């Protein structure tokens, strides 16, 4: 059918345009990061010099270390709390609307509002701000995302296997570790990886809760000041690395989620 062919080709065309729009700007950055001159005006040859100079930039290394600490610790806390919340919500007999709203709101609340609210809280309590306050803040949205990924898995979870395990003589504790947890594990890891990338990339809340000084600056904060005050070509290399790490982690997360669906 000529008509069907035309529709198919139109569809392909739209996909090419949209994916071009989504990926070209990123591709330009990646390409620039390997440009000897570092300038978008001309290509002066392939070079890794911006990556080398990145490795020698102690500010950036310091910020990267801070980011890693924040993301790992926040992810660990959020994974435990988020998984427990998901199980708690899905095993309830009746849906609780306030609980649903509570678990949902960290994902939709404007981050600037959450940021100033946390700043207000910490300054009210006279807490010295630093990495620990960033971690506390990141756990809020991290746990919400972990919870939503794990709940998606629990929705397809056949709770009769829990009953079967109890029927076969396992205690509820043993049942959790031998039955429920292994089934949920891929979703938990997928949720944790998602939380990790969110934490690595989060800027505004970290910016408001990091406190004064450079001690607890994170990578996004470093990138922001690099963009605002004097762009050096190093940023292209940094951007490429950060996106590469995010994309890899997300691919693994997606793959885990898919594995569990086909199982």
Judged by CB under 8 A, does residue 250 bind another protein?
yes
**Of these, 66, 71, 208, 237, which contacts another protein (CB under 8 A)?**
208
Judged by CB under 8 A, does residue 127 bind another protein?
no
Q: Which stretch binds another protein (CB under 8 A): 49-57, 84-92, 158-166, 180-188?
A: 84-92
**Of these, 34, 220, 234, 260, which contacts another protein (CB under 8 A)?**
220
Q: Are 29 and 239 in contact (CB under 8 A)?
A: yes
The least distance separating another protein from the CB of residue 68, rounded to whole angstroms, comes to: 15
Q: How far is CA 243 from the centre of its chain?
A: 12
Judged by CB under 8 A, does residue 135 bind another protein?
no
Give me the helices (H) in the chain, please: 2-33, 49-55, 58-91, 97-108, 111-124, 131-155, 160-167, 172-175, 181-201, 204-209, 219-228, 234-262
| Cβ distance to another protein smaller for residue 14 or 215 | 14
Q: Are 171 and 179 in contact (CB under 8 A)?
A: no
Judged by CB under 8 A, does residue 8 bind another protein?
yes
Q: Which of residues 95-124 bind another protein (CB under 8 A)?
A: 99, 102-103, 105-106, 108-114, 116-121, 124
**Neighbouring C-beta atoms of residue 172, cutoff 10 Å:** 10
- Work out the angle at residue 161's Cα, subtended by the Cα atoms of residues 159 and 163, and round it to the nearest 5 degrees: 80
Length of the chain counted residue by residue = 263
Radius of gyration of the chain (CA): 23
Q: Which of residues 46-75 bind another protein (CB under 8 A)?
A: none
| Cβ distance to another protein smaller for residue 129 or 200 | 200
Q: Which of residues 181-200 bind another protein (CB under 8 A)?
A: 194, 197-198, 200
């Amino acid at each position: 059918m000529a008509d069907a062919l035309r529709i198919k080709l139109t569809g392909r065309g739209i996909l090419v345009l949209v994916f071009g729009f989504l990926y070209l700007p990123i591709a330009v950055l990646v390409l620039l990061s390997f440009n000897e001159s570092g300038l978008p005006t001309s290509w002066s040859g392939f070079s890794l010099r911006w990556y080398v100079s990145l490795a020698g930039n102690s500010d950036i290394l310091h910020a990267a270390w801070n980011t890693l600490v924040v993301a790992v610790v926040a992810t660990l806390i959020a994974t435990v709390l988020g998984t427990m919340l998901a199980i708690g919500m899905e095993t309830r007999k009746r849906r609780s609307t306030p609980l649903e709203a509570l678990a949902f709101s960290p994902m939709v609340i404007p981050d600037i509002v959450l940021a100033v609210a946390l700043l207000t809280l910490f300054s009210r309590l006279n807490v010295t701000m630093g990495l620990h306050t960033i971690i506390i803040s990141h756990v809020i949205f991290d746990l919400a995302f972990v919870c939503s990924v794990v709940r998606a898995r629990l929705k397809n979870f056949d709770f009769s296997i829990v009953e079967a395990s109890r029927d076969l003589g396992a205690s509820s504790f043993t049942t959790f570790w031998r039955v429920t947890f292994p089934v949920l594990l891929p979703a938990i890891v997928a949720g944790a990886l998602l939380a990790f990338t969110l934490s690595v990339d989060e800027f505004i809340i970290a910016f408001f809760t990091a406190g004064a000084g450079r001690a607890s600056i994170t990578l996004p904060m470093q990138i922001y000041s690099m963009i605002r005050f004097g762009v050096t070509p190093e940023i292209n290399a940094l951007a490429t690395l950060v996106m590469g790490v995010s994309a890899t982690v997300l691919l693994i997360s997606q793959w885990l989620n898919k594995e569990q669906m086909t199982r």
